[in-house]
Structure formats: structure tokens, C-alpha cells
Amino acid sequence: MNAELFNREYAEAIRFRLKSDGIFIITSCNCTTYELDQIFEGPGLFKKKDEIKGYKKFTYGGVVGQNVSTNIYEPWDDSQQHVVETD
């Protein structure tokens, strides 16, 4: 199975069902915040609004991560330029 295609279809299905002024919140124990962004962010899908921080952190191989990731997205608005914020 092509996981990338499946993820894109999943994101499109959610976007199709979400009202234009709605928000989409996803919590995952399998994907990092970055991986969720790769699935859900982009034209015609979603723009990241925020993420929930404060979950228990761990370090593995010198990289700090969380056991759980929660991201909040809003529908992509083609009339606004998408700006990626970095910390």
C-alpha cells in the first residue's frame, strides 16, 4: 500500500467534510508534529494554526521528541499567502 497516497486521500476527505470556518485537531502517538504537517498542510488542504506542547519528552539518539503530538489546523484559504513559522 502507498502510505503517502493513503495519507493524502485521508487529508482530502477530512478537508472536504470540514466547514470553511472550522478547525481540525489531530492527536497522534505514531507521527511527529513534522510528519503530521507533511500529511495535512498544503494548498487545498490545511494551514497549521497551532500545536499542543507540554507532553512528556524523551531523548533518543540525541534528538528530543514527545510521545504524543497534537496539531491544530484550519482550512487552507487560497486568498491568503501561506507563511511557515519557525521557532
**What is the per-residue pLDDT across 1-34, written as a single tens digit (0 to 9) for each?**
466 668 899 999 999 999 999 999 999 998 889 9
Domain limits at 34? 3-75
Number of domains composing the chain: 1
Residue 11 within a domain: yes
86 part of a folded domain: no
Q: Judge whether 83 lies within some domain.
A: no
Helix (H) or strand (E) holding 3: helix 3-17
Does residue 84 lie within any of the structural domains?
no
pLDDT digits over 61-82, tens only? 888 778 899 999 999 987 655 5
Query: 32 near 65, Cβ under 8 Å?
Result: yes
Q: Report if residue 80 sits inside a domain.
A: no
Give residue for cell 510528519. Answer: 35
Residue 12: CA atoms inside 13 Å, Cβ hemisphere, count?
6
